[in-house]
Amino acid sequence: MNDHPPRWAELALSLLLKAGDRESIPGDLLEKYREEVLPRSGWWRSQLWYARQLGSLFWHLLPSAAFGVVLGLVLSAAVVAINVVLPLLPEAASPLRQAVEGISEAAGWLGVLALWGVAGFFAWRRHGTLAAALKAGALVSLLSMGMVMLTFALVDNLFLDLVSRQPEKLWGFQHSEYHSMRAYINHGLLRGLFFALPVMAAVGAALGGLGGLAARFTRRPPAAAQR
């Protein structure tokens, strides 16, 4: 029987760990995998165990990145629901469609911006420095918005017929110099990648900083920062 953990998980582990931990932590996991988990649980369950450990390391050692990925997944699901699922629903479901669109317009962005601040709040409580709060806000905004843009790229290209019917896209295309809707949409996405994403990261950093300041006034810093 193969006594190696999944190669993809070992590679992912080496990418997420700091240089000083790249030997010791995978070594500990490999030791436990070979001596305890594999003999007790068999190959399939052992593979799952290793993947779970990878997830726990990601969640505990890089909480801001994990938060950004989770937020990105939720927002991406909302993008798919609003742009693909809701337009395909029958006419009878139009009240549902209006309710979802209303909520996403009213609370969606404010909620997302608040969550970037929350990331800064908790980063300050963990590390006790404003730099950590700024970095957390920027990282969460970059990851979540990057994933949203990637989702838009997939949705817009895979469901071009459906997306082309959106009034704002039609208006924009008609007032542009592009010869095809696909080119118009993809150039818009590229502009977003190079201009909007850095702006979002800066906004995220600012909100993370505000969250960090809020944490500073609600609780004293951890011992590490007091020294």
Where does this chain bind another protein (CB under 8 A)?
21, 23-32, 34-35, 52-53, 55-61, 126, 222-224, 227
Which is it for the CA torsion 194, 199, 204, 209, positive or negative?
A: positive
Judged by beta carbon, residue 62 or residue 80, the one nearer another protein is 62
- Minimum distance of another protein from residue 73's CB (angstroms): 19
CA gap 84, 156 in Å, rounded: 9
Residue 112 vs 215, nearer CB to another protein: 215
What is the nearest approach in angstroms of another protein to the Cβ of residue 67?
A: 14
Q: Mention every residue, 6+ apart, whose C-beta is less than 8 A from residue 105.
A: none
Q: Of 16, 22, 91, 99, which is closest to residue 56 (Cα–Cα)?
A: 16
Cβ neighbourhood burial of 46 (10 Å; 0-12, 13-18, 19+): buried
Q: Least CB distance from residue 122 to another protein, whole Å?
A: 13
C-alpha to C-alpha distance for 136 and 201, rounded to whole angstroms: 10
Instruction: Identify the sign of the CA torsion 20, 25, 28, 31.
Output: negative
Residue 139 token pair: 């990282």
CB of 125 to another protein, least distance (A): 12
Closer Cβ to another protein, 172 or 221, answer by number: 221
User: Rounded to whole angstroms, how far apart are CA atoms 149 and 153?
Assistant: 6
CB of 133 to another protein, least distance (A): 16
Nearer to another protein, 111 or 222 (CB): 222
Nearer to another protein, 123 or 200 (CB): 123
Residue closer to another protein by CB (options 22, 169) is: 22
Q: Which is nearer to another protein, 61 or 80 (CB)?
A: 61
Minimum Å gap between C-beta 121 and another protein is 18
224/227 Cα distance (integer angstroms): 6
The distance of closest approach from Cβ of residue 46 to another protein in the complex, given in angstroms and rounded to an integer, is: 14
Residue pointed to by tokens 């962005």: 109
Amino acid at 219: R
